[in-house]
Amino acid sequence: MQLVLATRNANKLEEIRDVLGFDSHTVKSSFDYPQIPDVVEDKDTLEGNAIKKATTIATATGCWALADDSGLEVDALEGAPGVYSARYAGEHCSYVDNCSKLLFEMKGKSNRRARFRTVLALVNLVGEVRTLEGSMEGTILTEMRGEGGFGYDPVFMPDGYDYSYAEFDPAEKNRISHRGRALQVAIEQWGALFAQI
């Protein structure tokens, strides 16, 4: 079985490979198929986007495909940025732009509860879809903290910790993060499939 990780996000790719124990020689990514255009994430749910990405890559490559879609859901913002997390500050924005917009939107808000959610979708050669989810509850900080990680990591402090995702050691973050949790469930539920790679 050949598996393609349906992402061109280098940070996500590294995190997924680290947690699942895959290397670039045995598991390909969308980077290895430059002729395939980026998948437009236009679904209303994380699950819809993950399924669309995995299905598109599986069809285009003739391989199994694993995709994720993740989002930050902030209670005081009625679940925003949610499915629009990657483009919260605009179509071609940076991680810093997104964090800055979130901090601006959160000014004066007393309820700073939030959660990161990841949905994984695995699609086989005949288009059968399997999905699962991981999440992490936490709080939105009042300023960016830390130099590590990516995305909203500098402004998200997970429950049970006194520091942001960006202040974590990468291995520790991969163990407890929303994506890390989803990937651990994937190992438990799909481990027999992954063993065929």
Q: In what side-by-side order are the strands of the sheet with 129-140?
A: 28-29, 3-5, 64-74, 113-123, 129-140, 156-158
β-pairing, 129-140 with 156-158? antiparallel
Q: In b/e form, how buried is each residue of 112-144, taking b as 16+ CB within 10 angstroms? A: bebbbbbbbbbbeeeeeebbbbbbbebbbbeeb
Beta carbons within 10 angstroms of residue 166's beta carbon: 23
> Is 69 labeled as catalytic in the residue annotation?
yes
Task: Catalytic residue, from 18, 32, 44, 69: name it.
Answer: 69
Write out the two tokens for 129.
Answer: 């879809």
- Distance, CA of 58 to CA of 135 (rounded, Å): 25
Report CA dihedral (65, 62, 2, 151) to the nearest 10 degrees.
-30
For residues 122 and 186, is the Cβ–Cβ distance under 8 A? yes
Whole-angstrom CA distances from 113 to 14, 136, 151 are 28, 11, 18
Contact 118, 178 (CB under 8 A): yes
Query: Which positions are catalytic?
Result: 69
